[in-house]
Amino acid sequence: MIILAIGLSMDAFAVSVCKGLSLGKIRLSHSVKAGIWFGGFQALMPVIGYFLAGLFAGFIDEFDHWIAFGLLALIGLNMIREIFSKEEKQDDSMSVRTMLLLAIATSIDALAVGVTFAFLKVNLPLAVGIIGVTTFLFSAVGMKLGSIFGTRYQKKAQLAGGIILILIGTKILLEGLGII
């Protein structure tokens, strides 16, 4: 179960690194907030998948990769656009809207895992706890790692973060389409 939890948390970890890159200097509250958003959604989605296993399994399987791609590409393109924007406004990149979109995009695969849990008779509370805590820890550490590199290379780091989000979305899409 721990290996599964680590695997599920990798998208959230990568996105957290990107968030840390774009924020530059972060506080402990940023890491905790990212951990709660990503860990919470990684824990919530298997529960939803578990209970909706029979109802929407085919629909989710057909479109989850498109949803994740669209959300991650939109957020990544927005990060890149802000680099070239003439306005020097502070991006509220930890806003509820932004974090909600990222949390959903990175946890769609956990929804599919929840569907499989229903058929495997998994101890759901234990599995969800391990997934949530693991993702929380990886996300919090990812924020700090991104921050360390982001303060040194602010614009390049934000560009890299945007590109990475787009690439993660593209990878999810290509896997969903069976290309890779």
List the chain domain ranges: 2-176
Check residue 24 and report its DSSP letter. Answer: -
Residue 87 is predicted with a pLDDT of 56
Helices and strands (H and E) in the chain: how many: 6, 0
Please give the Cα distance from 21 to 18 (Å, whole number): 5
Residue 37 is predicted with a pLDDT of 96
Torsional sign, CA 102, 23, 140, 30: negative
pLDDT in tens, the chain (180 residues): 888 888 888 888 888 888 888 787 888 999 999 999 999 999 999 999 888 876 765 666 677 778 778 877 877 787 788 778 765 444 446 889 889 988 998 888 788 788 778 777 789 999 999 999 999 999 999 999 888 876 566 677 667 767 877 888 898 889 888 898
